[in-house]
Structures are given as C-alpha cells and as structure tokens.
Homo-oligomer: A and B are copies of this chain.
C-alpha cells in the first residue's frame, strides 16, 4: 500500500509554496512519527527510512510542507488554493532524494594542513616522534594563534562550501585549537561567520578542553580554572556556542577534571558532549550518559559498562570511522554490537587536519558499511536523523518531516544504497538548504 500524503492540512498555514520536487524515484524521508516520538533511532528503527516510491515533495516558507505519492501530492496541490507562482519546480527524473547530511563532529576551523604528519605516520613514526617533529594538536594550536580571523574565515568557508557540495547541510564545528580565551572565542566567531557565508547551518561547540596548552603544562589546575571561570562564561555571554565538549582520556583530561568542566558548562546552560573512550577504555561513555550529554563520540574502546549506559540513555553514540581509516588503525568502534545492544548510533567525519582529513559524509557511509558492517539504511539514518539528535536539532533537521527545514539532496542515482556502494565519488547532484538550491 502506498504511504498516504502527510500533513496536508498544515500546508496552507505555511503560506506560499516555494519548492516542488517531482518525479522522485526513492524519497527517503526518514519520517516515521511513531518511532520518532520515542527518541533517537535504535536497533531495527535505524533502518526505517520512511521511503515513498514515485513521490513528490512540497516546501513552503523554507520548510517541508508535504510529501507523498506524486499523484496524490499534485492533485492535492492543484486543489489546495496555495499559490505556486513563485515556486521553483524541480524534476528529480527518477533519482533518489534524502535529507541533507548532519555532520555532528568536526574541527573545521584550522590553518595549515598536516600532510607531512600523515606521511610520517605511514612511515611508522610514533605519536611522540611526530610531536617531537612539531606535529600533533599543539602544532595546529601554534599555527591558529598566529592567523587572523579573516584568514581563518576564508579557509573555513572554502571547506564548508565543499562539505555542502558533498551534501552536508548542517555541520557541528568545535573550537579547541585556541586553548585561550582570545583564540577559543576567535575560532567560534570564525565558525559562525564562515558557515553563514557558505550557507550551511552550523552548531558550535566549545572544546577549550581539547588539550592543556603548553604554557600550562606545569599548572593544569590553572588552565582548568581558565576554562571554567573565563572561557565558558564568556562563550555563553557572547552567544558563541551551544555546547561544551571535553577530550576525556587518561592522557588528556581525566574523569574528575571532565566532571568539573562539564558540570560548569551544564550550569551555564550549555548542552554537553564528550570525546570518550577513543584511546583507552576509561569510563567516558558512562560519564556522558550519567551527565545527560547529547552525545559521546569516538568510542573505539568502549567497554560493556559504557555500552549498557548508552543503551539505557538518550545519549547518542557518535562513531567516527574516518578517523580509524585515516590513522590506518585496525579496530573500529563496535558498531554492530552497540546497535544490537540498543545504542542510538550516529556517524560523523571528525574532519580535522591531523587524524581525519575527511570531509565527505558519503565516504564516511562507505567506511561504516564496509568496515563496521552497518547496512546502507542504518548508515543513512546515522548520518542524518540520529546525528541531528546528537546535536539536539532533531526538531529542525535530519529528516524530511513536515515542519522541518527543507534541507535535502538529489542524488545522482536511483537507489540510496549506491551512495556507500560507489565509494569515493560525490553522489550529490543538487543540494537545497531551506528550500533553496545551493549553486556549486
């Protein structure tokens, strides 16, 4: 049976129709109201794409108004009295349409690229040797502090434009290469300005707790106080971020320090996220769930307690397989086991100049499918709806539910499974943000 037209009665309230996409072969809406009322997608729910074949989609005022089998939609539209005079008419010509990707974990604001370090790692140099040769996070910190806001904005804007061309319509961007009040706020301003210029939706996260800067190596407590007493309050006061992240690892910020930072952030009204269990099985995921974080990210070494804690919470498990791939590591996060246990899994690029120079969500899907055995459907939900949940933006983006932003992609192919299957190509033919086509 064909899926009925959804939410027709709400359309008239939205005013003039601004976009009609017709002749959609596969419309992957990811809109399944009875599932979505329950929280992020888990288990079998991850593969429910809310698909309509031979469909049409109508947008009004920059939002999804209605979708359904094309005959129903077009007949209704004719009789609705809505004006389509100003609407853009798009013929999808039988191709697949899906929600824009939501990339919930990136470090897109940086200066220099680090391909020298990539080559050293391939040659077998250790992290310590690379750091001694001037590599690692500290090299990006030193570089970023020396660059002007305008220069960083131009670099970031170009990257975001390319991410948008690969289908990312909402991107999370973290600070964390500033590690001082001046440079953390600079990074967050750059992220906001570059995203606005590129036309991509942006969620900003303060990651002042990415590392202890070199100048506070001998007095970690002082840097912690700078984070809790200066950086976080200023970030909130200036409206520069909605979220706070901590690199919670034995060698970076331990559990106690992480609790101090996250508690302060929560008190300031920030949403929480945690870099957890990447290098060691350390209780990061348990901490994230316990503190009500929106997400726990990385999780390569998550243990049984961590999995159970995530499965029992609404904290989304954001997996970053591009990082594992780029570092040439053998062990990916245990996605299959986490899904079976009931964790709400999402995917992100972790785009950064050191461990994951990947900015393409389609490639992340390919890696997730072939290396973590997520199915094409699971990986698509993980890159869209569940990643919207990871950012607390599930009411705005991540699916083509009526009322959400009209952020959508037309794919160069008739089957959504061809996205991960044809690894290494950009499968995106057209990108729409808020109902408007982005020109490449």
Q: Flag whether A2 is at the interface (Cβ < 8 A).
A: no
In the complex, what's the smallest C-beta–C-beta distance from A414 to chain B, in angstroms? 9
User: By the criterion CB–CB under 8 Å, are B424 and A358 in contact?
Assistant: yes
Q: Flag whether A273 is at the interface (Cβ < 8 A).
A: no
Cβ 8 A contact of A373, one of B124, B357, B424:
B124
User: By the criterion CB–CB under 8 Å, are A359 and B326 in contact?
Assistant: no
Q: Flag whether A83 is at the interface (Cβ < 8 A).
A: no
Chain B residues closer than 8 Å to A148, beta-carbon distance: none
Which A residues, 367 to 404, have Cβ-Cβ distances below 8 Å to chain B? 369-371, 373-376
Q: Flag whether A426 is at the interface (Cβ < 8 A).
A: yes
**Interface 0/1 of A276-300, CB less than 8 Å to B:** 0000000000000000000000000
Chain B residues closer than 8 Å to A37, beta-carbon distance: none
Q: Flag whether A322 is at the interface (Cβ < 8 A).
A: yes
Chain B residues closer than 8 Å to A122, beta-carbon distance: 369-370, 373-376
CA distance A418 to B117 in the complex (A): 11
Chain B residues closer than 8 Å to A326, beta-carbon distance: 370, 423
Which A residues, 346 to 368, have Cβ-Cβ distances below 8 Å to chain B? 357-360, 362-364
Q: Flag whether A119 is at the interface (Cβ < 8 A).
A: yes
Residue of B nearest to A163 (CB): B425
Q: Flag whether A327 is at the interface (Cβ < 8 A).
A: yes
Cβ 8 A contact of A423, one of B119, B166, B322, B418:
B322
User: By the criterion CB–CB under 8 Å, are B162 and A423 in contact?
Assistant: no
CA distance A359 to B370 in the complex (A): 16
Cβ 8 A contact of A370, one of B162, B327, B423:
B327
CA distance A362 to B425 in the complex (A): 10
CA distance A370 to B369 in the complex (A): 18
Known interface pairs A328-B370, A370-B327; A375-B119 also in contact (CB < 8 Å): yes
Known interface pairs A371-B328, A421-B357; A119-B376 also in contact (CB < 8 Å): yes
Residue of B nearest to A330 (CB): B330
CA distance A359 to B113 in the complex (A): 26
Q: Flag whether A75 is at the interface (Cβ < 8 A).
A: no
Q: Flag whether A67 is at the interface (Cβ < 8 A).
A: no
Chain B residues closer than 8 Å to A113, beta-carbon distance: 415, 418, 421
CA distance A374 to B113 in the complex (A): 20
Q: Flag whether A89 is at the interface (Cβ < 8 A).
A: no
Q: Flag whether A76 is at the interface (Cβ < 8 A).
A: no
User: By the criterion CB–CB under 8 Å, are A424 and B424 in contact?
Assistant: yes
Chain B residues closer than 8 Å to A166, beta-carbon distance: 424-425
Further 13 A-B residue pairs, CB within 8 A, beyond A118-B369, A162-B425, A328-B369: A115-B417, A116-B417, A118-B421, A119-B417, A122-B369, A122-B373, A122-B376, A326-B423, A330-B330, A357-B422, A360-B425, A425-B426, A426-B426
Q: Which residues of A contact B (CB under 8 A)?
A: 113, 115-116, 118-119, 122-124, 162, 166, 322, 325-328, 330, 357-360, 362-364, 369-371, 373-376, 415, 417-418, 420-426
